[in-house]
């Protein structure tokens, strides 16, 4: 389960499928330890990779009553976060618990995509239809243009990130849905305290992505107070996963692992001392699911910070060298991305989320590094094993 979207086929498991869980855990532990170039074991290095990565998800599923089980529609489900979340929802609540939607055709190798349909979030009527036909009670809205991509197409970013959010909230109001819309560290700006950034502080972002996320936070809270919509949002840091980067400023923290395994060298577009908060994607999945499962009475606010750990390019490089001693990093600074990163927090304070609904992360930097190397090495091996086309 370490990276949920990385499985070669969907998980047709029930929450009580102990034998399958044990086999899955055993397989992944072997992959992680065999991927390391170090001769020391995970335990000897003092890492805290969970002995049973599925335990917290299984426990949450078993605590959910039949009447509370979600029937979820995910927009933008083919992106970095959607596929892993959909896989875990199927594992926890059954194969028919998720409707996956996006605006492109599913590739043949995306075998973890199930119950999928085309959905344009700019078409409010189409969202209505998908909600009604799918008997949906929970809406997770991932569709968005990210920071660097949005700066290159501001009109489209405004349409997708602002009009799309308004459509989602209107549909949620009409159909009494619980709705989750993620926010981001990009919702902060250079006037925000950059170290241990609190939940409530100055928010003056300098990117259209950040501006649109502040809009989503405030509009969602308005719909909650004015119309009773059960709106929830989490401000995510950079998310590290084995999914190909999608145009965000923190993408280097994913690409660096691919480069480490392919060439042993990464050219970074941020300065070596650029510190940013990050989170491994399984922790991200857990934060969404546990937040959605929390009772409204537990929530003191509607938008919370969550985080895992913070690091600089130099520090993640040092972590990689614990497993690949010959890895090298050099720097070619991208002025646009560096300017964006310099306006963001270096670390987040998520103490209120931990107090209100018992949020906690399971993965630190070295754990994430080891798992990422294992997953990407496995994906590269699969690519090598694929039969090559023969020209006539």
Tell me which residue of 192, 176, 188 sits closest to 217, measured CA to CA: 188
16 found inside a domain: no
Beta strands in 191-345 (DSSP E): 230-236, 238-240, 265-268, 276-280, 303-305, 309-311, 328-331
DSSP 389: P
Domain total for the chain? Answer: 1
Beta strands in 274-355 (DSSP E): 276-280, 303-305, 309-311, 328-331
What pLDDT sits at residue 223?
Answer: 99
What does each C-alpha distance from 324 to 198, 243, 327, 375 come to in angstroms? 36, 21, 6, 15
82 found inside a domain: yes
8 Å CB contact between 90 and 114: yes
List the CATH number of the domain containing 304: 3.40.50.720
Band the pLDDT of 247: cuts 50, 70, 90. Answer: confident
pTM recorded for the entire structure:
0.86
Q: Which value, in Å, is the radius of gyration of the alpha carbons in the chain?
A: 20
Q: What is the mean pLDDT of the chain?
A: 87
> For residues 221 and 242, what is the distance between their CA atoms, to the nearest angstrom?
33
Share of the chain above pLDDT 90, in %: 76
Residues in contact with 178: Cβ distance below 8 Å, sequence separation at least 6, in sequence order: 70, 137, 138, 139, 172, 230, 232, 292
Q: State the catalytic residue, choosing from 93, 116, 118, 209.
A: 209
331 found inside a domain: no
9 found inside a domain: no
343 found inside a domain: no
What pLDDT sits at residue 12?
Answer: 32
Give the pLDDT mean for 311-322: 98
Residue 9 has pLDDT above 80, yes or no: no
8 Å CB contact between 136 and 147: no
223 is an active site residue? no
3-state SS, residue 180: strand
What pLDDT sits at residue 245?
Answer: 67
Question: What residue numbers bound the domain in which 151 lies?
Answer: 36-243+280-308+348-364
289 found inside a domain: yes
63 found inside a domain: yes
323 found inside a domain: no
């Amino acid at each position: 389960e370490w990276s949920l979207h990385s499985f070669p086929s969907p998980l047709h498991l029930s929450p009580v499928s102990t034998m399958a869980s044990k086999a899955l855990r055993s397989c992944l532990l072997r992959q992680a330890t065999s991927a390391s170039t170090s001769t020391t074991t995970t335990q000897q290095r003092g890492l805290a990779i969970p002995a049973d990565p599925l335990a917290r998800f299984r426990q949450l599923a078993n605590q959910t009553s039949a009447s509370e089980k979600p029937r979820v529609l995910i927009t933008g489900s083919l992106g970095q976060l959607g596929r892993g979340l959909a896989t875990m929802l199927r594992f926890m609540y059954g194969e028919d618990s998720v409707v996956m939607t996006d605006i492109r055709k599913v590739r043949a190798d995306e075998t973890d995509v199930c119950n999928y349909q085309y959905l344009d979030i700019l078409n409010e009527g189409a969202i209505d239809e998908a909600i009604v036909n799918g008997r949906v009670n929970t809406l997770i809205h991932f569709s968005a243009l990210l920071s660097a991509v949005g700066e290159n197409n501001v009109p489209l970013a405004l349409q997708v990130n602002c009009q799309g959010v308004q459509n989602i909230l209107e549909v949620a109001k009409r159909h009494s849905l619980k709705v989750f819309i993620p926010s981001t560290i990009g919702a902060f700006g250079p006037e925000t305290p950059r170290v241990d950034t609190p939940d409530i502080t100055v928010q003056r972002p300098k990117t259209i992505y950040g501006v649109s996320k502040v809009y989503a936070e405030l509009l969602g809270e308005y719909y909650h107070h004015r119309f009773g919509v059960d709106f929830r949002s989490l401000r995510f840091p950079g998310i590290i996963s084995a999914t190909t980067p999608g145009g965000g400023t923190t993408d280097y923290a994913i690409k660096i692992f691919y480069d480490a395994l392919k060439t042993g060298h990464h050219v970074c577009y941020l300065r070596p001392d650029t510190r940013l908060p990050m989170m491994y994607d399984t922790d991200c999945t857990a934060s969404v699911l546990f937040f959605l499962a929390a009772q409204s009475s537990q929530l003191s606010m509607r938008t919370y910070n969550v985080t895992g750990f913070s690091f600089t390019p130099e520090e993640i490089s040092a972590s990689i060298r614990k497993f690949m001693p010959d890895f090298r990093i050099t720097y070619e600074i991208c002025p646009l991305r560096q300017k964006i990163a310099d306006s963001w927090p270096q670390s987040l304070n998520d103490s209120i989320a931990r107090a209100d609904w018992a949020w906690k992360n399971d993965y630190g930097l070295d754990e994430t590094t080891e798992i990422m190397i294992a997953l990407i090495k496995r994906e590269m091996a699969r690519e090598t094993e694929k039969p090559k086309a023969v020209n006539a």
